[in-house]
Amino acid sequence: MTGTDQTCHRLEGRIAVVTAAGQGIGRAVAERFIAEGAVVHASDLNGALMDDLAGAASVAALDATDHVAVLAYFAQFPQIDTLCHGVGYVHHGTIEQCSPADWRRTMSITLDSAYYVLGAGIPAMKEHGGSVITIASLASSIKGYPFRAAYGAAKAGVIGLTKAIAADYIKENIRANAVCPGTTDSPSLRERIDALAVKMGSAEDAYNFFISRQASGRFGTTAEIAALCAFLASDDGSFMNGQAINIDGGITI
């Protein structure tokens, strides 16, 4: 079994805001929070990806790199109990293969967006406290990976920002933790495998290359990452603060 039982209702009535909720990890987090009883506000750059979530959650198209749009979106929330931010972009390359435009795009999508979203969301958590969750990565300050120069730097920044928030707002009962997944089966992972398949001339070889890097012999599932996020959002995670938590099937043993 690679998911978890979703019958507990640890987030009953809580207000949860989830970015990048159209697909992948963000989508699984939104679904898990709904299953746990939260009132979920889901957003994504591509609003159409959330058509089937509407009804179970409030959904909105939001470009998390647009500071003005982010501020306008968050103005609707007098209170937020949980804020999960997972917008990120993987540039494939060493520092020499990373143009200034690649670097800026990576920082904009992965790190600037975190600054905008968390900065806009924190004021709505200060009165009642809450849980901030960022989706960082093993490819960060945790571990160096080949061809992840810009991505690793940006995700290290996400971890640093998350820890700074934990330190700054501990008196307001705001906890902030960074979830650091290993390779997780998501639409963008499948795109990366497909791109490698073109280079290698074989879909099977490309898939096996990615799998060969997994200590557990498999990818993580988005449900597994979402289960950790639900723990952090809930009172079960009430003593977790300022941590970068690896969830990687044993890569960092």
Ligand X SMILES: NC(=O)c1ccc[n+]([C@@H]2O[C@H](COP(=O)([O-])OP(=O)(O)OC[C@H]3O[C@@H](n4cnc5c(N)ncnc54)[C@H](O)[C@@H]3O)[C@@H](O)[C@H]2O)c1
Positions touching ligand X (CB under 6 A) are 19-20, 22-26, 44-46, 49, 62-65, 86-88, 109, 113, 135, 137, 181, 183-184, 186-189, 222
The conformation of residue 41, written as its DSSP 8-state character, comes to E
Task: Single out the catalytic residue among 73, 116, 151, 169.
Answer: 151
- 151 given a catalytic annotation: yes
Long-range contacts of 67-70 (CB under 8 A, 24+ apart): 67/112, 67/116, 70/113, 70/116, 70/117, 70/120
Q: Output the smallest distance, CB 226 to ligand X, in A.
A: 10
Q: Which is nearer to ligand X, 12 or 52 (CB)?
A: 52
| Sheet strands side by side (includes 130-135) | 58-61, 39-44, 15-18, 82-85, 130-135, 174-181, 244-247
Q: Output the smallest distance, CB 227 to ligand X, in A.
A: 14
Q: Which is nearer to ligand X, 13 or 49 (CB)?
A: 49
Task: Quickly list H helices, 107-145.
Answer: 113-121
Kind and range of the H or E run holding 141: none
Q: Output the smallest distance, CB 12 to ligand X, in A.
A: 26
Both tokens assigned to 203? 């879909």
Q: Which is nearer to ligand X, 7 or 82 (CB)?
A: 82
- Point out the residues that are catalytic: 151
